[in-house]
Amino acid sequence: MAHKPEYYRTDLWVDWCPGCGNYGILTALTQAIAELGLDPVKTVVVSGIGCSGKTPHYIRVSGVHTLHGRAIPFATGIKLANPSLTVIVEGGDGDLLGIGAGHFVALGRRNIDLTVIMHNNQVYGLTKGQASPTLPRDMRTKSLLKPNIQDMLNPLVLAIASGYTFVARAFALDVKHLKEIIKQAIMHKGASFIDVLQPCVTYNDVYTVQFYRKAIYRLDDESNWDPIVRDPSEEYEKKMKAIAKAQEWGASIPVGVFYHNPLVPSFEERLQGRLRYYIENPPARQSITVNGGAPLIDDRRMRKLFSKKIVPVRSRRPSD
Amino acid sequence: MSLRELKMVIGGPQGAGLETILQVLTTALAHNGYGVLSGREYHSNIIGRHSYVLIRVSSYEIPRSLTYPVEVLAAIDPETVFTHYNDLAAGGFLIYDIGGEDIHVGKIVSMGRHLRERIEEELSREGVEPIIKELVNYLESKGVKTLGLNYREIVSELREKYGVPPAKLVRYTSSIVVGAIAGLIGLDAESIHVGFSYKFAGKEKLVEPNVYIAMRVAEIVRKLYGAPLALEESRLPYTEYMIVSGNDVVAMGKIVGGVRFQSYYPITPAQDESFFLENYERLVVDGEQLASIVVLQTEDEIAAITTAIGASLAGARAATATSGPGFDLMVEGLSWAGINEVPVVITYYQRGGPSTGLPTRGGQSDLFAAVFSGHGEFPRIVVASGDHLEAFHDAVEAFNLAERYQLPVIHLLDKFLANSVVTIPVPSTHDMTIDRGKMISHVENPFEYKRFSLDGPVSRRAPLGHAVMWYTGNEHDEYGHITEDPVLRIEMYTKRMKKIELADREIPEEQRAQLYGSDDPEILLVGWGSVKGVAIDVVEMLEKKGIRVGYLHIHYMSPFPRRRVSELIDKIGLENIIAVEHSYEAQISKLIAMHTGKMIRKEIVKFTGRPIYMHELATAVSRILDGRDKVVLNYGA
Ligand SMILES: Cc1ncc(C[n+]2csc(CCOP(=O)(O)OP(=O)(O)O)c2C)c(N)n1
Ligand code: SF4
């Protein structure tokens, strides 16, 4: 059952500054959800804190607006408890790579089937423009008192190194392209990461719409660019190529899919191997009671489960 | 003459097999019907530092507390003899290795300088040279019976007999200790066999050589002394026992309670609980897999609490387990769970703080942390268990309360309980119900669902995947969307806060505070957590001396049993009430004052990280009766 994107929008007032790149991301995400025909009840958008963190409220699927930096672990719990849900994470660059960097890395190691969309505006928007981990050193955006003293982190390289199996970049205002990337990322079974270049019109006067329009080029346009790992033996080479490509920044900035490896087992598959029936009967859907309220693990079952802990007392001597 | 009860200390370097000795002896004793309680003390170290178990065995009750002096001190190494020689009762037995006779205390660097110097000083005051041989002579002169065995020689028999390679022989030292104790008590071969069979289930090849060594030593002891510490035939009514640590019972309770998601980040003394659960990740009974539990080791405690919250939003019974430093990290998530009315259980094992203070020792100094941490105001339930059986039931109830009131529940325990092993009757699930509160799985119109409907303190809760809903850490409307509207703020805030008032009305106060001992006491001890066992023992002891004493066990810290506690205080009079706690501040008296306006000024506290022992609590109570206001306890190595 296909719906128009408007079907997936709430009627709330959108909180962002006029012209903010977040509008593009919101539009692309709603379109992607619409085109994939996702069931709003079975879809959850989980966000962190910041301007970007408000995204879930504008989309009519379930939304969980969490804590600064913690969207990934919240999403991890939701997804592992019920892997039949489609779970999408929205976070700022400060959120995912500053306070939440540990969780960002952990998701790669686990390769859980989550899609992480990073609103990369190189600043902390909602706290008024401080430098985020993606702002290059010596750069000075208009809200900074002094040039940035810290080095920047390359989100794509970090994602690849951490184990994400789908790694891409897109531009917030190229809605059509971003939408396609989001769709691919959602369909990918494993941890996906999209670095979305998002102009912050209020605080970032360096990485502006004009700047990006000039610098950006599409990886698709490169005749021999193929990011997909089709055999495990290709993994190393494709990773290295993607990492090299991800170094390009400044005058020319590539967007598109950098790395896509569908061969790594997802965390859900790993759990299925250990737990059996995990996918068909996940934690959130199991019944824990019998007869309307008694524990599923009753006395008899408890004794069997814990028999190694139960010691019988030997019968008393007959003299007793 | 046979004994009604027996206490033993068994010590040695960490990693030398104390765990084995404890399990084998406890199983063998339980097999004979005896009640056993043991506490375990160890350094924050994996191999080499001194650790010991203190065991109390009884033929007429399941021991509730530990106490000194002991009738048996069994030493794997010389350090144990030096550290514990003072713990021995006159007429007690020392089991030690004569291979270490010439060791001087100054040579034992694993011991720590302060203790070494203290012991040297102590012994020199008695005119004893601090060498094992001299110390043994001294103890003998004081009436201690000593049992020197050559450990190395004894285990070397296993070379020819069972082909044990020389490098593995030391692993059998623990069986020497088991055998020596079995000899003193008069445990027979069958009991020892049962003990080792339980311990080495699945590794049967190890049973025979261990039993062999143990029985060899038992025979030596029998020839020398007979069975001088034979226990009376057990009078306990049980036909079976469950042998469990605190970590074990909580995990069992969680399994019965229906946990389906447990996340954790390793920290002592909590991690064993999660290990236990991981062993049961597939709940298979009679070949049928009834359920499965996802046990996730997260990247940190922040992720531990937030993944658990996420799993709960999706509808799974979810929990995490930690101790002080980990709980600190969870606090932001706790507040989020508070404003979002998320049922989630945090099992909180206290240890000695602040910071990593005494990481492997116990304490109760996190009461305020459990009750008050978190920014903003939100209701939470805090339950503190006093013993193993209570911990089992509380673990189940914690989930029920979390779901009934849709809020975070902190289940407060401590290291003493976590690491003590006890024989308990197999708990029953008979009267238990699983209460999922207002959980619904079908929503008429999934687009019109109000997760936070304002028609009462507790709204209908549909898991994610059953309706469209929103959650946010910001103040929100009934749908879960952000609002800063002052009128809505009042309504939503009040709705949340009303839950604790509801819980206060619904959970009987008798369940939240229990009175033990005299129901018309002249003197009242007040405490919580693992003070329970030792306090009840002291109450019984004093009652035998004709003093009417009671122990008020505070079981729920929130909602606090205000009326009951207040009435009791009025009846007994503040000047006759003593707070007992493992802390400096006696935090419980402040909590009581906060809720009742009545401040208990007399207190007995301990913050060495070691348990409160019965003998020292009894003495402390009499000192308070003699007019002191505060006694600080300090017994234990
Ligand atoms: C633990 C914690 N620390 C700090 C904050 C304050 N805070 C609110 S928004 C924000 C910055 C968000 O920046 P970013 O993640 O880049 O998102 P943006 O606003 O740029 O979309 C911060 C630091 C917070 N909410 N929580
Ligand atoms: S501050 Fe920047 S990121 Fe935030 S809404 Fe305004 S333009 Fe967008």
Which residues of chain A are within 8 Å of residue B310 when distances are taken between CB atoms? 46, 64, 73-81
Residues A242, A164: Cα–Cα separation, whole Å = 12
pTM of structure: 0.98
Which positions ≥6 away from B462 have C-beta within 8 Å? B439, B440, B441, B443, B449, B451, B469
Q: How many CB atoms lie within 10 A of CB B502?
A: 16
Name residue A217's beta-bridge partners: A254
Provide φ and ψ at B138, rounded to 5°.
-60, -45
- Contact, B614 vs B66, CB < 8 A? yes
Given this model, what pLDDT does residue A317 score?
57
For ligand 2, say whether the CB of A124 is within 6 Å of any of its atoms.
no
Helix (H) or strand (E) holding A109: helix A101-110
Which residues of chain A are within 8 Å of residue B317 when distances are taken between CB atoms? 288
User: Token pair 């080792």 is at which residue?
Assistant: B196
- Contact, B527 vs B535, CB < 8 A? yes
Name residue A63's beta-bridge partners: A45, B470
A320 exposed, middle or buried (CB, 10 Å; 0-12, 13-18, 19+)?
exposed
Residues B253, A164: Cα–Cα separation, whole Å = 37
Mark out the alpha helices in B76-227 (DSSP H runs). Answer: 78-84, 113-125, 132-141, 151-162, 173-185, 189-199, 207-225
Indicate the pLDDT class of residue B33, thresholds 50, 70 and 90. Answer: very high
Residues A319, A172: Cα–Cα separation, whole Å = 88
Given this model, what pLDDT does residue A316 score?
67
Which positions ≥6 away from B306 have C-beta within 8 Å? A66, A67, A70, A73, A74, A77, B333, B336
**Averaged pLDDT score across all residues of chain B:** 97
Provide φ and ψ at B91, rounded to 5°.
85, 0
- Provide the 3-class DSSP secondary structure of residue B632: strand
Residue identifier of the C-alpha nearest atom 1 of ligand 2: A125
- Contact, A124 vs A153, CB < 8 A? no
| Residue type at B207 in one-letter notation | V
Residue identifier of the C-alpha nearest atom 8 of ligand 2: A20
Which residues of chain B are within 8 Å of residue A308 when distances are taken between CB atoms? 198, 201
Name residue B553's beta-bridge partners: B514, B527
Q: What percent of chain B has pLDDT over 70?
A: 100
For ligand 1, say whether the CB of A90 is within 6 Å of any of its atoms.
no
Residue A52 CA, closest ligand 1 atom number = 21
- Provide the 3-class DSSP secondary structure of residue A203: coil
- Contact, A116 vs A107, CB < 8 A? yes
Q: In which order are the strands placed within the sheet that holds B630-633?
A: B513-517, B549-554, B523-528, B577-581, B602-606, B630-633
Smallest CA–CA distance, residue B477 to chain A, in Å, is 12
Given this model, what pLDDT does residue A291 score?
87
Does the pLDDT value for residue B1 go beyond 90? no
Of B30, B289, B447, the CB nearest to A313: B30
Provide φ and ψ at B520, rounded to 5°.
-135, 65
To the nearest 10°, the Cα dihedral for B306, B311, B313, B318?
A: -90
**In whole angstroms, how large is the CA radius of gyration of chain A?**
24
DSSP letter at A228?
Answer: B
Q: In which order are the strands placed within the sheet that holds B408-414?
A: B294-297, B261-264, B318-323, B344-350, B408-414, B381-384, B556-558
Residues B29, B569: Cα–Cα separation, whole Å = 42
Which positions ≥6 away from B431 have C-beta within 8 Å? none
Contact call for A73 and B244, based on CB within 8 A: no
Peptide bond into B69 cis (omega under 30): yes
pLDDT tens track for B491-516: 999 999 999 999 999 999 999 999 99
Three-state SS across A241-301?
Answer: HHHHHHCCCCCCEEEEEEEECCCCCCHHHHHHHHHCCCCCCCHHHCCCEECCCEECCCHHH
Which residues of chain A are within 8 Å of residue B336 when distances are taken between CB atoms? 66-67
Mean pLDDT to the nearest integer, B39-61: 96
Residues B260, B270: Cα–Cα separation, whole Å = 18
A129 φψ region: left (φ > 0), alpha (ψ -120 to 50), beta (else): left
| Residue type at A81 in one-letter notation | A
* C-beta contacts of B487-496 below 8 A and 24+ residues apart: B491/B454, B492/B452, B492/B454, B493/B377, B495/B452, B495/B454, B495/B456, B495/B457, B496/B338, B496/B339, B496/B341, B496/B378, B496/B379, B496/B457
Given this model, what pLDDT does residue A315 score?
86
- State ipTM: 0.98
Name residue B6's beta-bridge partners: B57
- Contact, A24 vs A17, CB < 8 A? no
Interface test with chain B among A65, A79, A107, by most B beta carbons within 10 Å: A65
CA atoms within a 13 Å half-sphere pointing along the CA-CB vector of B76: 27
Residue of A nearest to B304 (CA): A73
Mean pLDDT to the nearest integer, B576-590: 98
Of B31, B283, B286, the CB nearest to A313: B31
Name residue B9's beta-bridge partners: B54, B73
Contact call for A283 and B252, based on CB within 8 A: no
User: What is the distance, to the nearest Å, from the Cα of residue A140 to the centroid of all Cα atoms in its chain?
Assistant: 29
For ligand 2, say whether the CB of A141 is within 6 Å of any of its atoms.
no
Given this model, what pLDDT does residue A292 score?
84
Given this model, what pLDDT does residue A1 score?
58
To the nearest 10°, the Cα dihedral for B512, B517, B518, B523?
A: -90
CA of A124 to the centre of ligand 1 (A): 6
Helix (H) or strand (E) holding B412: strand B408-414
Of B201, B239, B296, the CB nearest to A312: B239
pLDDT tens track for B188-241: 999 999 999 999 999 999 999 999 999 999 999 999 999 999 999 999 999 999
Interface test with chain A among B2, B335, B471, by most A beta carbons within 10 Å: B471
User: Token pair 């590794």 is at which residue?
Assistant: B203
pLDDT in tens, chain A (320 residues): 579 999 999 999 999 999 999 999 999 999 999 999 999 999 999 999 999 999 999 999 999 999 999 999 999 999 999 999 999 999 999 999 999 999 999 999 999 999 999 999 999 999 999 999 999 999 999 999 999 999 999 999 999 999 999 999 999 999 999 999 999 999 999 999 999 999 999 999 999 999 999 999 999 999 999 999 999 999 999 999 999 999 999 999 999 999 999 999 999 999 999 999 999 999 999 999 998 899 999 999 999 999 999 999 998 655 44
| Residue type at B58 in one-letter notation | S
b vs e for A239-253, b when ≥16 Cβ sit within 10 Å of the residue's Cβ? bebbbebbeeeeeeb
CA of A203 to the centre of ligand 1 (A): 14
**Which token pair is A180?**
């396609």
Contact call for B260 and A304, based on CB within 8 A: no
Which positions ≥6 away from B380 have C-beta within 8 Å? B334, B338, B371, B374, B407, B408, B409, B410, B500, B558
Q: What percent of chain B has pLDDT over 90?
A: 99
Does the pLDDT value for residue B54 go beyond 80? yes
Taking the domain A5-271, which CATH number applies?
3.40.50.970
Given this model, what pLDDT does residue A320 score?
45
Mean pLDDT to the nearest integer, B443-468: 97
Of A61, A67, A275, the CB nearest to B292: A275
User: Token pair 């004493």 is at which residue?
Assistant: B549
- Provide the 3-class DSSP secondary structure of residue B383: strand
pLDDT tens track for B259-276: 999 999 999 999 999 999
Residues B309, B332: Cα–Cα separation, whole Å = 12
Mean pLDDT to the nearest integer, B345-356: 98
Residue A96 CA, closest ligand 1 atom number = 15
